[in-house]
Amino acid sequence: MFCPHKNSYLQLVCAMNPRMINKAVDKAMERSEFDPHCETPAAQRMTSMQPSLYAPHVDITRAKLGFGRIGLKLLIRELHSEDYLVQLQAIHSVLDQVQISENALFLLKLHVVYRLIDLMDHKDPVIREKICLILTLLATYYQGRKQIMSRPVIIDNLLYIIVRDRKEIRYVAAATLRTLSRDRCSCELIMKNEKVIEDLLKVVKNEHSSIVLLHLQTLANLAAWDPTRQLKANAFQIMLSLFTDRDPKIVSAAMDCMTQLCKDDIGKILADEYDITFYLRPYLMSKNIEVIISAVNLMAYTTLTTRSKWRAKECMRLPRRLVELCHTPNKPVLQLGAMQVLMNLCDIPDIRYNLRLNLDKNVKSIKIRYHEDWDGTTETSSFGLETGHNYRTMSIEKVETIKNDYGDNALVINVHSYLRRLHELKARLIYAIHKKPYRH
């Protein structure tokens, strides 16, 4: 039961043996040489026609069952087969089939998630890894998240793998939890687990960099739902310690997580105590653009308090650097964050006077790109070939989409409304710079 074209254990249903068709064509064309693949038993195909990676213990010349609804039903039964090889083959085939949306939805109707969750504590590490990969793909569907979160025991199983399993399986388990945390309804159910925040913060300190990155994204998604538990678990101090990491991706992810923490009142108080606004100054000069974007977005929340604004006054080079960052029309996200920080700092008369005296022309000359030149992501591509106009999609891997960070439903904003928001913020910034006290 193996399809060499899909690297699966099922083949397409055909009403007639294709070898019979080939024989009839050869006979009608009066060919003297016949294809050895049409003979019985079938010969091995050429190396170039075979897949580069085979599933274990497979003879690709033997295929008995076809792809279809009947085959998928039998495939689910074999997930709990007593034969280890049959069970392993079935899991490999399910992993291939869930990548096809039609088959994935049909498998969800057959409640394949419940069978997979029961196998998460299997003794074979290959099976545990493949199950996490399958659940990650199914979690991208609403029906899949609904079935997965209907069994809260999956969070305990994922945490057990994340804390105690081998590195490869810890990575795929972290990806599964990260995918689940992207949905706000799932965040509410995940947060009901009593150990999820503490365990994630515990493993973040001494873990592989790629796994730490996934955990930080998960913590940021959970903090967007409820930052209180993370603040009580000293998440603020842990994120601050990650600012000095060598990997810029981890630094950026830690700043994004702290941004969610600073939306809470306690987070703003901690930001003042640790002097985060003054601490972020070197990161505005970073060579990595993602670090700069994350630092500016974090500063937009740390400069809301009076104490932080007066602290920013002590560094008069900060407004000039923020104005320079506003002149990046190819990065609208950076423009929005930099102008918002300047708006916050305009509450200080000395900074406002400095902007009006020295940087007024620079602020008025800020250019905002047109919607025809932008596809709604922070990474620009030529004619939208890499990302396309997918800004209405909730998540695009490796590309930061523009979306709301508030409200019950964080929906992606379209390009026109986002650019209009940039124009309005620029107008308010110019008005704030020229605003004078009442006595004048």
Whether residues 50 and 73 share a domain: the answer is no
Question: How many distinct structural domains can be found in the chain?
Answer: 4
**Of 302-311, 325-334, 362-371, 391-400, which range is least confident?**
391-400
Whether residues 298 and 397 share a domain: the answer is no
160 lies in a domain? yes
Q: What percent of the chain has pLDDT over 90?
A: 30
- Which of these three, 284, 315, 346, is where a domain ends? 315
**Of 92-106, 256-270, 288-302, which range is least confident?**
92-106
pLDDT digits (tens, 9 = 90+) for 126-139: 899 999 999 999 99
CATH number, position 76: 1.25.10.10
208 lies in a domain? no
Whether residues 231 and 141 share a domain: the answer is no
pLDDT at res. 155? 92
Number of alpha helices (DSSP H) and beta strands (DSSP E) in the chain: 24, 2
> Can you give the residue range of the structural domain that contains 250?
217-315
Phi, psi dihedral angles at 345 (to 5 degrees): -75, -15
pLDDT at res. 251? 94
Whether residues 80 and 172 share a domain: the answer is yes
pLDDT, greater one: 19 or 241: 241
The pLDDT of residue 296 is above 90 = yes
* Distance from C-alpha of 76 to C-alpha of 67, rounded to nearest angstrom: 13
pLDDT, greater one: 370 or 391: 370
With cut-offs at 50, 70 and 90, classify the pLDDT of residue 262: very high
CB atoms within 10 A of CB 238: 20
- Which of these three, 52, 67, 82, is where a domain ends? 67
**Of 26-35, 78-87, 131-140, which range is least confident?**
26-35
* Distance from C-alpha of 395 to C-alpha of 179, rounded to nearest angstrom: 10
Whether residues 242 and 262 share a domain: the answer is yes
Q: Are residues 168 and 129 in contact, defined by beta-carbon separation less than 8 angstroms? A: yes
> Helix, strand, or coil here: 396?
strand
Q: Which two tokens stand for residue 431?
A: 């008005």
